[in-house]
Structure 1
Amino acid sequence: MDPLLRLAVPADASAIAELMQSSVLSLFPAYYDQAQTASAARHIAVLDLALIEDGTYYVHEVDGEVVACGGWSRRNKLFNASVAGADERLLDPATEPARIRAMFVRGDWTRRGLGRAILTACVDAARAEGFTRLALMATLPGVPLYKSFGFAEVETAELTMPDGVVLGAVAMERAVDQNGDQR
């Protein structure tokens, strides 16, 4: 059965939370050590309900099961574990990039175009609201997907989780509309 892409609803929250945990525990060990993976599962794989409430979060569903999720935000928060400088302020589409947030795919559903389909939906929705740029903070497992979708590395980063564990990451951006769009 083909995955169905749709907007997430509040009733999806527990399935999304389970998927996030499963994705981190399955995919992160290829890039991070055991302590980093455990910390990411606690601090990054956490659903921000505002994404669902704002109508900017998507799920891929197969036979009633959520196998991928991700979205975008018009708010000033770059990633789940971020607190410094984050707020609920709406971003200005004319001067600030929309944020790509909380992208997770179940380990046995990777490399099937699900992340790309979610990113395409995010680009289209952000464009409809007047955004011209997108920004994200990628954990290492996501970097290949984002690069293949036209995101460029802005800088590498070290993210200190609330428990003090540090994860390598990459800040990335792309234009909403760009020549050679690889969608």
Structure 2
Amino acid sequence: MTQNITIRPTSGADTPAIDALLAASYPVLLKPDYPSSVLVTALPLISRARPELLRSGTFYMAQDDEGEALAAGGWTHSGPQGGVGPRDLGHIRHVVTHPKATRRGLAGAILRHAFEQARAAGVTRLSCQSTRTALPFYAAMGFAVQGEIEIALRPGITFPAVQMIRAL
């Protein structure tokens, strides 16, 4: 049976679904690329939906016919650490795919939708902070590596990532 996938903007009501998606995905998909000493402290902090993203109008969820969240992600003008920079620069935010739905093009479809919406809002460049795991995905989506970074999650807790950029 063919499943229909719908991509739609999220709302605050999607918090439980996105929390479940993040909790199912990150421990499984990040494990090959990060030591357990990093994951034990980072996962509780990164595996939670960001309410401001869910209500932004620029964060999207791919769901199946039953309404299950299979992938999510989006973009914002504000950066992951807050603040707003140049209006032509947007930021890809919190892209995730359920382990059972990888390699089906869902994250790519969400990003292409985000590209269209960001372009319509006057954005000409998108940056992202990629996990090591997602680096090949973002490269295939046209992002170029700018360098390795350490994302401060809380005082004393950092997460290794890769800063990337893409023109629209």
In structure 2, what is the Cα distance between the partners aligned to 1:21 and 1:163? 23
Q: CA offsets, 1:44-70, max 9 Å, x none?
A: 222221222220110011121111110
Q: Determine the structure 1 residue equivalent to 2:87.
A: 93
In structure 1, what is the Cα distance between the partners aligned to 2:118 and 2:87? 9
Q: CA deviation at 1:21?
A: 1.5
Question: Cα–Cα, structure 1 residues 156 and 53, in superposed 2: closer, same or farther, change >3 Å?
Answer: same
Choose from 111, 118, 127 the match for 1:119.
Answer: 111
In structure 2, what is the Cα distance between the partners aligned to 1:22 and 1:39? 17
Q: CA deviation at 1:165?
A: 4.0
Q: Determine the structure 1 residue equivalent to 2:131.
A: 139
1:70–1:104: 8 Å Cα contact kept in structure 2?
Answer: yes
1:32–1:167: 8 Å Cα contact kept in structure 2?
Answer: no
CA RMSD across the alignment:
1.6
In structure 2, what is the Cα distance between the partners aligned to 1:131 and 1:137? 17
SS of 2:139 mapped into structure 1: helix
The alignment status of 1:67 with 2:70, answered yes or no, reads yes
SS of 1:69 mapped into structure 2: strand
The alignment status of 1:174 with 2:166, answered yes or no, reads yes
In structure 2, what is the Cα distance between the partners aligned to 1:3 and 1:10? 21
Q: CA offsets, 1:80-135, max 9 Å, x none?
A: xx4xxx33x4x4324xx100000011111111101100110110011001010000
> What is the TM-score of this pair, normalised by structure 1?
0.84
Q: Structure 1: any 5+ residue segments left out of the alignment?
A: 177-183
Aligned-pair identity (%): 31
How many residues are aligned here?
165
In structure 1, what is the Cα distance between the partners aligned to 2:4 and 2:35? 34
In structure 2, what is the Cα distance between the partners aligned to 1:99 and 1:106? 22
Choose from 150, 153, 157 the match for 2:142.
Answer: 150
Q: CA deviation at 1:137?
A: 0.5
Give the stretch that moved more between structures: 164-173 or 104-113: 164-173
Q: Structure 2: any 5+ residue segments left out of the alignment?
A: none
Q: CA deviation at 1:18?
A: 1.3
In structure 2, what is the Cα distance between the partners aligned to 1:39 and 1:138? 18
> What is the TM-score of this pair, normalised by structure 2?
0.91
Q: CA deviation at 1:35?
A: 2.4
Q: Determine the structure 2 residue equivalent to 1:44.
A: 46
Q: CA deviation at 1:74?
A: 1.4
Letter in 2 for 1:69: A
